[in-house]
Amino acid sequence: MLWRHFGKEDAMKVFVSSEHEELPAMVHALGHQISPLAYADVYLFTSRGADQNFDEATRLGIPIIGFRQAGAAGNGQFAEFSSVPDLLVKVVTALRNVPAKREPLVWQPLSRVRSHSGLLMSQEQWSRVTLALHVIQVNALKYTAAQVRDLPDRMVRAIRESGLVADADELVQRIEYYETTVSCPSALAEPGGFGGARMAVNADMAAWEILPTGGRAHIAFIDEDSATAILTRLVGLIGRLTTNTEQVVPVVELKPLKNLGLGDPATMFALENFPRPHQWNHDSITSNGDEALTAPALATNAPEVARELALQLLDRLRRTENWRRY
């Protein structure tokens, strides 16, 4: 079997975690390098080799290519292979679709940003404590009619391939002239998890998660780590959906604040008696929203972007004058 050899400008550093000895040899044959995970451009695994390094690759924001044997138990978001030759062919195709280099993460200050009010969720979607990411295009863009028709399927495919919902979770599409929304009703019925995503015809996007709640007061808690984890998933999703290389402004919104507490959710939910949350008078709060980065950086640098946004959001929460501790 003949494989196309990549030139130096296409070569990637690949970390391979697999029981199939053919994969490293094929990676070399394609002109790529076998690399430690910390320096890799892509993480390639088959299911039995995934557990040890998957979380670290996710934390580092390294693109992940995963496969599992047909019929074997495992995460349904990864492609199946029926034989070693089938696996090799699919790996070659997958490697060709991975960007060879990460987009540099450079924030550019802006003096004026378009409003993100057009992407606000419905009142029903805000009925639970919700953390939303809005991605606003700096320049006025517009999808073509053909791209608009393709949005619902693209969104559903990206959501499922990102592992944000279980295979059995229903995704509901709502298609309107100016925007397309895909929502997950189960996140509202039992608070916690991916809530939905929205894409407008002007290429603005939004995605949100519902915070898990506990106690009779339906209190939700958030801290830097939990906010970063949620935002990493949302930034990564929108990064998968972005098709342009223009500058974008990510803005994080948290709402409503009346049943929100600052603290580790796992620790708070373990307490028999919940502490009373901070008494917020603000209905919502947002991150700064005055810096832009290039759209491809959302996919290649999701953890770093998410951490910065989480720090901005938590700083604003702590600086809000209308709160007190109990």
Contacts of 315 (CB under 8 A, 6+ apart): none
| pLDDT value of residue 234 | 94
The answer to whether 48 and 81 have CB atoms below 8 angstroms apart is no
Each residue's pLDDT tens digit, 150-205: 888 889 988 988 888 888 889 999 888 788 889 888 877 777 889 999 988 888 89
Block residue for tokens 């540099």: 104
Backbone conformation region of residue 263, classed left if phi is above 0, alpha if psi is from -120 to 50, else beta: left
| pLDDT value of residue 127 | 65
pLDDT value at 230 more than 90:
yes
Lowest-confidence segment of 55-59, 115-119, 238-242, 322-326 by average pLDDT = 322-326
Concatenating the DSSP letter of every residue in 231-251 gives HHHHHHHHHHH----SEEEEE
Rounded distance between C-alpha atoms, residue 116 and residue 149, angstroms: 23
If we measure between CA atoms, which residue out of 131, 148, 292 comes closest to residue 213? 131
Rounded distance between C-alpha atoms, residue 249 and residue 205, angstroms: 10
Rounded distance between C-alpha atoms, residue 198 and residue 298, angstroms: 16
| pLDDT value of residue 259 | 77
Kindly indicate the confidence band of residue 213, based on its pLDDT and cuts at 50, 70 and 90: confident
| pLDDT value of residue 21 | 83
Each residue's pLDDT tens digit, 88-126: 888 888 888 775 555 667 777 776 666 655 444 555 555
Kindly indicate the confidence band of residue 306, based on its pLDDT and cuts at 50, 70 and 90: very high
The answer to whether 242 and 298 have CB atoms below 8 angstroms apart is yes
pLDDT value at 83 more than 70:
yes
Residue with the larger pLDDT of the pair 98 and 278 = 98
Kindly indicate the confidence band of residue 206, based on its pLDDT and cuts at 50, 70 and 90: very high
Give me the mean pLDDT over the 27-42 stretch: 83
Residue with the larger pLDDT of the pair 31 and 235 = 235
Query: What does residue 170 show for φ and ψ, rounded to 5 degrees?
Result: -80, 140
Task: Work out the burial of residue 264: count CB atoms within 10 Å of its CB; fewer than 13 is exposed, 13-18 middle, 19 or more buried.
Answer: middle
pTM summary value: 0.67
Kindly indicate the confidence band of residue 310, based on its pLDDT and cuts at 50, 70 and 90: very high
Q: How many CB atoms lie within 10 A of CB 161?
A: 13
Contacts of 313 (CB under 8 A, 6+ apart): 227, 252, 254, 285, 286, 287
Kindly indicate the confidence band of residue 133, based on its pLDDT and cuts at 50, 70 and 90: very high
The answer to whether 261 and 312 have CB atoms below 8 angstroms apart is no
Output the average pLDDT for the chain: 78
pLDDT value at 59 more than 90:
no
Give me the mean pLDDT over the 197-219 stretch: 83
Percentage above 70 pLDDT, the chain: 77
Give me the mean pLDDT over the 9-16 stretch: 76
The answer to whether 293 and 255 have CB atoms below 8 angstroms apart is no
| pLDDT value of residue 28 | 85
| pLDDT value of residue 256 | 80
| pLDDT value of residue 113 | 61
Cite the beta strand spans of the chain per DSSP E. Answer: 13-17, 33-34, 42-46, 64-69, 79-81, 108-109, 130-137, 172-175, 179-183, 193-200, 205-210, 220-222, 247-255, 260-262, 285-286, 291-294
Kindly indicate the confidence band of residue 3, based on its pLDDT and cuts at 50, 70 and 90: very low
* Beta bridge partners of residue 68, listed in sequence order: 80
